[in-house]
Amino acid sequence: MTSEWHETPPGNLTHLGWMNNAAEWIAAADRIVSSCGNTTVHTVLAARKPWIVVPEWRYFDEQLCKAEALEKAGLAAMSPHWPSHRDGWQALWEVADAIDTAAQAQFIDADAAAHTAQWLDSLATSLWDDAPINALPSMKAIA
């Protein structure tokens, strides 16, 4: 596995690479440290665990914004970068251990895919409500 890390990982951390059964590993863990991609967030919230999020760099800061929102909602402790010393980790774990993990489950929607599809269908329908029947998008040639 190629590492993107600029830090020296702690000796008790083993990189396992891609795991097809990540949800099982998360469910078996006592505590979680992760980035905050959409699937990871959903999986960790469903598992109801003390959680530290360290967002990965993205062009539009979507992981950073999501990590800040998770922290503000009291669902995770957040660090904008990998802590470099024991005291940094200790402070984060104090916050993470105080999280009401039962509250995490309130943010899980078992029918998220169906609800999203319904919302998209509703949005598309509302955008086309005033369009004439058999309307086609117009295209203009640019010379």
- So what's the pLDDT on residue 13? 75
Residue 84 lies in a domain: yes
Return the DSSP state at 88: H
Residue 114 lies in a domain: no
Q: How many CB atoms lie within 10 A of CB 92?
A: 21
Residue 92 lies in a domain: yes
Residue 73 lies in a domain: yes
Q: How far apart are CA 124 and CA 127, in angstroms?
A: 5
Answer whether 96's CB lies under 8 Å from 51's CB: yes
By residue range, what is the domain housing residue 64?
Answer: 22-108
Q: How far apart are CA 23 and CA 39, in angstroms?
A: 10
Residue 61 lies in a domain: yes
**Residue listed under structure tokens 């951390």:** 13
Q: How many CB atoms lie within 10 A of CB 88?
A: 13
The residues near 92 (Cβ < 8 Å, ≥ 6 apart) are 52, 77, 79, 83
The residues near 42 (Cβ < 8 Å, ≥ 6 apart) are 108, 112
Residue 123 lies in a domain: no
Task: Please tell me the total count of domains within the chain.
Answer: 1
Residue 121 lies in a domain: no
Q: What is the pLDDT of residues 75-125, one digit of tens each?
A: 999 999 988 888 999 999 999 999 999 999 999 888 888 999 999 988 888
Choice between 13 and 51, residue whose per-residue pLDDT is larger: 51
Residue 3 has pLDDT above 60, yes or no: no
Residue 41, classified by CB atoms within 10 Å of its CB into exposed (0-12), middle (13-18) or buried (19+), is: buried
Residue 63 lies in a domain: yes
Could you tell me the CATH number of the domain that includes residue 60?
A: 3.40.50.2000
Q: What is the pLDDT of residues 37-84, one digit of tens each?
A: 988 999 999 999 999 999 999 999 999 999 999 999 999 999 999 888
